[in-house]
Chain A
Amino acid sequence: MATCSNCRQTLPDPPESFCPSCGAIVGAGQALPPPPGSATGSVPWEEREQRGFFGAFVDNSKEVLTGPTRFYQRMPVTGGIPSPLLYGVLAGYVGLLASALYSAGFKAALGTTLWSLGGAKQMDRMLGLMQGGVGLLLQIVLGPIQIVVGLFLAAAIYHLLLMLFGGARRGFEATFRVVCYAQAASLLGIIPVCGMLSGIYVLVLNIIGLSEAHGIGRGTAAAAVLVPFLLFCCCCLAGLGVMFGGIAGLAGLAGEMQR
């Protein structure tokens, strides 16, 4: 039975590209040490049995938000998709709900004035829909599905771009885990009018996370994260799905202030 030369754990048969225990690259029967700064540890969310569900969620969120570099250095790059997905959906949904509720609150208190986005009627109409009661209901009901789609779509596109830029040193799971844990920034949506800021912080966390998880430079990671937002409408759609509550709330507030 082959063992990983980095952590000495038994490797699966048939062998995979990465050691499931420490994430080291496995090549030709031996494991290469992980690249500098690459992840080999655990994160609070994956210690839920010891810490408790709520405690693990809070601790994990605190660590991602306050020390993302340290967090992503410790994050295991393998171990299964369900656990980070659950965290991503929970954090994203809490942020989405908060933003949607604030948006509906702003509308109820201030009226229906909308911020005109460069005269784009389609966008104005969409914002109108999302600010209303129907929009709130849609976000509550479809929110989790929207977030799951957005997480997979974002991870797939980031990973594809990392492959193109020669930065995908780890498997898809590493990218997916980064994207899921970056949803911690969505929790900032709980603070009124911070929906947009949380969207920006998600991008920052993705850049730091991809850089640490794949052991690549910040520039390559930034290119993989920012290029799709500049050039792909499907990313805008996915991102907008998550950030619409915040955008709509901010738009309503800005429109009211312009009045």
Chain B
Amino acid sequence: MSLGSALRMTAPRGATPLGLILAAVSAAAKLMTVFVAATGYGSALCLFKLTTGCPCMTCGATRALNRLLELDLGGAFVMNPLATAAALVLLPWALTDALLLIRGRALGVEVSDALASALRPLVLVAVFANWGYLVAVGR
């Protein structure tokens, strides 16, 4: 199985620019946390951490995003490696969508069933390894 047949990128006309939308939503969510922080009521509002004392899977994501905005890549990975990696994937996806949008198209990624099956356990391991790291460092 070649990578070309397992992973196919398309730019269908009229498709939803998902990358651009998700990037915009992330930016809006980030602005909301900035706003909450500015009210003096704290920027972190994690029910999971408040209840269990243990960080959740996305704890540190906002701080990681802050570090990324300051172009501190190392600092961002220290805060939450998986959230940083996701943000780094989202950025070129959103930029590509923005460029394609001019022509009424959007980026589409099609993954074959075989590759999806192979990726699934890897992603699960990555998610839980990331969580283990967050718990270990007390994020």
Chain A residues with a Cβ under 8 A of chain B: 12, 14-17, 80-81, 117-118, 120, 122-123, 125-126, 129, 142, 145-146, 148-149, 152-153, 156, 163-164, 166, 172-173, 230-234, 236-238, 240-241
Contact = CB atoms under 8 A, between A and B. Distances in A.
Given A118-B50, A145-B28, A172-B18, 20 more contacts: A12-B12, A14-B10, A14-B12, A17-B108, A122-B50, A142-B32, A146-B32, A149-B25, A149-B29, A163-B120, A164-B120, A164-B123, A231-B131, A232-B48, A233-B46, A233-B48, A233-B49, A233-B59, A237-B29, A240-B45
Nearest to A81: B16
Interface in B85-120: 108, 110, 116-117, 120
B79 interface: no
Contacts of B47: 123, 233, 236, 240
Contacts of B129: none
B22 A152 contact: yes
Contact of A153 (B29, B39, B108): B29
B15 interface: yes
B51 interface: yes
Interface string B1-35: 00000000010111110100110010011001101
B73 interface: no
B76 interface: no
Main secondary structure of the interface of B (DSSP, over half): helix
Contacts of B49: 233
Interface in B26-78: 28-29, 32-33, 35, 39, 41-42, 44-51, 56-59, 61
Given A123-B50, A156-B22, A233 B58 contact: yes
Contact of A12 (B14, B33, B50): B14
A148 B27 CA distance: 12
Ranked 3 nearest A-B pairs via Cβ: A233-B46, A152-B25, A236-B47
B137 interface: no
B108 A16 contact: yes
Nearest to B47: A236
A166 B119 CA distance: 11
A236 B32 contact: no
B25 A153 contact: yes
A69 to B, nearest CB: 26
B112 to A, nearest CB: 11
Contacts of B41: 122, 125-126, 129
B124 interface: yes
A117 B47 CA distance: 10
Contacts of A230: 48
A208 to B, nearest CB: 24
A237 B47 CA distance: 8
